[in-house]
């Protein structure tokens, strides 16, 4: 069996742009705060939303209420305003023959599980790790440490794949190999400065690399 592979969710397995940004807009409108356009909110995809709402509202004390309003819409509608990146389903099926696969996302685990089930991806993964609704383990370093322990896997033989600096930093802090992808919401400068060892432009590029790797 080859080494375990951990995947981020948003911007790595699925494109959640409209579900996340529309739910952010909903929350800001309810709070009578300025509502940026959709494309001006893509920076919020990936990092913990509580931090993003503190910046968007200009008031850290208001951020928890904004997150509550966000979830009112996201849990019923925004969750499924999402789509799987082309090629991901085939990649997971091929990798699963030789690798234990996991999801490690800062999104609340209850939402991640529903998304992966909805899109028919859940069965590819041995376990799905995410934050709790109260924000516990929303930090990627903490989340990956927990995931490695729960899965009984060693960081030194594990790989983390994601589109944002948080994925790379969390991986490196846990002794994991970090691979970055550019088809999500981070750019090359962000990923390389965070320490990603290799960066891939497309799902196809990532697939060629992963499926050609020799056994560990």
Phi, psi of 42 (to 5 degrees): -70, -20
Look up residue 18 and give its two tokens: 């409209």
Task: Please check whether residue 46 is in contact with residue 163, taking contact to mean a CB–CB distance below 8 angstroms.
Answer: yes
Question: In this structure, are strands 101-108 and 198-200 parallel, antiparallel, or unpaired?
Answer: unpaired
Q: What is the CA radius of gyration of the chain?
A: 17
Inter-helix orientation angle 165-173/140-151, to 10°: 50
The set of catalytic residues is 8
């Amino acid at each position: 069996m080859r080494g375990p592979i951990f995947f981020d969710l948003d911007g790595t397995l699925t494109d959640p742009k409209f579900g996340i940004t529309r739910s952010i807009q909903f929350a800001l409108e309810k709070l009578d705060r300025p509502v940026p356009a959709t494309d001006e909110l893509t920076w919020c995809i990936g990092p913990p939303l509580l931090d993003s709402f503190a910046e968007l509202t200009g008031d850290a004390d208001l951020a928890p209420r904004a997150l509550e309003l966000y979830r009112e819409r996201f849990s019923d509608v925004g969750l499924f305003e999402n789509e799987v990146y082309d090629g991901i389903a085939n990649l997971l099926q091929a990798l699963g023959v030789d690798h234990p696969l996991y999801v490690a996302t800062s999104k609340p685990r209850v939402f991640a599980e529903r998304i992966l089930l909805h899109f028919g991806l859940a069965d590819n993964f041995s376990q799905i790790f995410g934050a709790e609704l109260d924000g516990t383990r929303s930090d990627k370093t903490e989340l990956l440490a927990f995931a490695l322990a729960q899965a009984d896997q060693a960081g030194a033989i594990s790989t983390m794949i994601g589109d944002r600096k948080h994925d790379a930093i969390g991986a490196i802090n846990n002794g994991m190999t970090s691979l970055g992808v550019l088809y999500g919401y981070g750019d090359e400068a962000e990923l390389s400065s965070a320490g990603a060892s290799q960066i891939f432009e497309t799902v196809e590029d990532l697939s060629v690399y992963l499926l050609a790797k020799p056994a560990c």
